[in-house]
Amino acid sequence: MALENATLSSDLVLRAPLSLLDPAALGRISRLELVATQFMDGYVQGLHRSTHLGFAIDFAQHRQYVPGDDIKRIDWRVFAKADRYYIKQYEVNTNLQAHIVLDVSGSMNYRGIHEPISKLRYGQFLATCLAYLALRQQDSVGLITLDNQIRKFIPPRSAPSHLMNITAALEESESGGESSLATRLHEVAERLGHRGLVILISDCFEKTDALIEALHHFRHRRHELLLLQVMADDEINFPFRKWTLFENLERGGHHLRLDPALVRARYMAKLGEHLAAIHEATNTLRISRSVLNTRQPFDQALTAYLAQRMYERHSR
């Protein structure tokens, strides 16, 4: 369905929690699409390709004619070349059912030295924008927040007013608990219904093998998965030079004061191994992943990511 026919009313946007709905940011992303690049299950026509073949929208393939087929679907050009009858088949576009999964564990509460907002707040802005885009396309979107347990599980809906439910739940989200990211992701994968688009927003501070196994679970359940790995610039580049007090944000009272020079090389090596393993796994599993540095404005990062996905989809 046409994107311009599915806009959310300005009145609805203004009645939702304003702190997360930045009109300027929404304006910058409003021409983008939240698209599924892999085949989805769905029931109404939309922006996304379905697993079901029909006779409308996008050409998919030919198949040989069998008695009972509608002769109007015969490709006479192919007949002229092959002297055989072939039927054109098309991909039916479908609506999208999206689930936004936001990690609210304690590590997401970290705010870099030079960053104005925490990773959690950054993730909340991302989730708001993604929900806005989905609803603007008249797709269904839901929200799941988790740390060592599932905190919120809001089923997908396509009603424009659903944006208020999602933003209200995001505003209520607080980070501070310990993380059981992999375990909770397995639980989410089992709870979701028919396959759709799952968008995970997390710093991915979890044991690498356990995290990859959880991502594999979603792919096994035939969901398309997007991974937005949100990290502070400090975590990526470890710029500390003076003696620093490092605090465990998931376990209150656990902290360590040390000279960063003594641990920087080992930290960067371990982080590099972790990121490389995730990169390799997501490529293998055909998971779309982007590492987002909270130093970059969230709308700029999201715009670049979604524009790349749109380009990849339309170039196929």
Average confidence score pLDDT of the chain: 83
Q: Give the three-state DSSP class for 262.
A: helix
Output 34 or 284, whichever has higher pLDDT: 284
- How many Cβ atoms from other residues are within 10 Å of residue 132's Cβ? 25
Tokens matching residue 61: 């393939």
Q: Which domains does the chain have, with CATH numbers?
A: 3-38+96-314 (3.40.50.410), 48-94 (no CATH)
Closest CA to 25 of 132, 141, 138, 162: 132
Q: pLDDT confidence of 253, banded at 50, 70, 90?
A: low
Distance, CA of 112 to CA of 232 (rounded, Å): 5
CA of 240: how far to CAs of 74, 117, 118, 234, 235, in Å? 69, 19, 18, 8, 10
**Element containing residue 15 per DSSP (H, E):** helix 10-15
Tens of pLDDT along 100-137? 999 999 999 999 888 889 999 999 999 999 999 999 99
Q: pTM for this structure?
A: 0.78
Letter for the amino acid at 311?
Y
Distance, CA of 74 to CA of 79 (rounded, Å): 8
The pLDDT value recorded for residue 256 is 86
Q: pLDDT confidence of 229, banded at 50, 70, 90?
A: very high
Do residues 202 and 230 lie in contact, with contact meaning Cβ atoms separated by under 8 Å? Answer: yes
Do residues 36 and 29 lie in contact, with contact meaning Cβ atoms separated by under 8 Å? Answer: no
Tens of pLDDT along 260-277? 999 999 999 999 999 999
Residue 281: partners with Cβ closer than 8 Å, 6 or more residues away? 212, 215, 216, 287
Do residues 26 and 135 lie in contact, with contact meaning Cβ atoms separated by under 8 Å? Answer: no
pLDDT greater than 80 at residue 4: no
Q: pLDDT confidence of 14, banded at 50, 70, 90?
A: very low
Tens of pLDDT along 129-155? 999 999 999 899 999 999 999 999 999
pLDDT greater than 70 at residue 52: no
Do residues 62 and 86 lie in contact, with contact meaning Cβ atoms separated by under 8 Å? Answer: yes
Tokens matching residue 28: 């910058």
